[in-house]
Amino acid sequence: MAEVGGGSPRVLVVQHEDQAPLGRLAFPGVALDVVRPDRGETLPDRLDPQRHHGLVVLGGEMSAWDDDVAPWLPATRALLAVSAVDGVPVLGICLGAQLLAAATGGRVERGADGPELGVCTLRATAAAADDALLSGLGSTWLGPQGHSDAIVSLGDGTVLLATNEAYPHQAFRVGQRAWGVQYHPEVTADVLAGWLEGHREDLLGRGTSPEAVVARMHAADDLLAAVAGVHGDAFASVVGERAAVGTR
């Protein structure tokens, strides 16, 4: 397990592969422990409240149901489910969001409209206005996308926070502190360019190209950095509150 920073509060970060790092996403004042189950590192059954005050689960090329491909996924889903019940601050990104949805009564399937790639506009629902993670983003914001699977339903009691035309379940909250975002606030243009090479033919068939998509992302970089900053600051604040008050 790689440690980034020191002191408290601390967050456990589950990274599934080299090509899906934390990127531009930072959590000011929060120390990070990055665990790599793809390299044989094990996940805890439950976070130790004396050590970790939050959980981040990043994206990955595999599907949320690919237990044969990624045999650590059942443990990841179980950790997400128990963390949501325990009130641990959780942030699941893309695959991480899909795993959180699946672990809490939702359903994930292959996306009916094909891959969603590049920079898209997200629209807040009314519930986002006072949400601790997303209220600072306003009614619309930009989010990089890179997914072929989609969350098609959410579990009972889960609150939808953001949507768009292609795939409506773009951000949601389970309980008070567990969030999933289908888009990638963390991704940089260089990382996205690597992902898009595997979708070159699909993009050409849509009248665009990986180069054009990356160029648009470069053009929006200041806005995307600001969005990542809002996510990172807000999640760090929730984690800090959790560390200060302990378990409830």
Active site residues: 94, 184, 186
* Cα dist from 127 to 8, 133, 153, 173, 220, whole Å: 31, 11, 17, 10, 26
3-class SS of residue 41: coil
27: left (phi over 0), alpha (psi -120 to 50) or beta: beta
Residue 10 structure tokens: 């601390």
DSSP-assigned beta bridge partners for residue 244 = none
DSSP letter at 174 equals E
How does strand 90-93 pair with strand 54-57?
parallel
* Cα dist from 220 to 1, 117, 225, whole Å: 34, 15, 9
Nearest to 180 by CA among 89, 60, 86: 89
Other CB atoms within a 10 A radius of the CB of residue 223 amount to 12
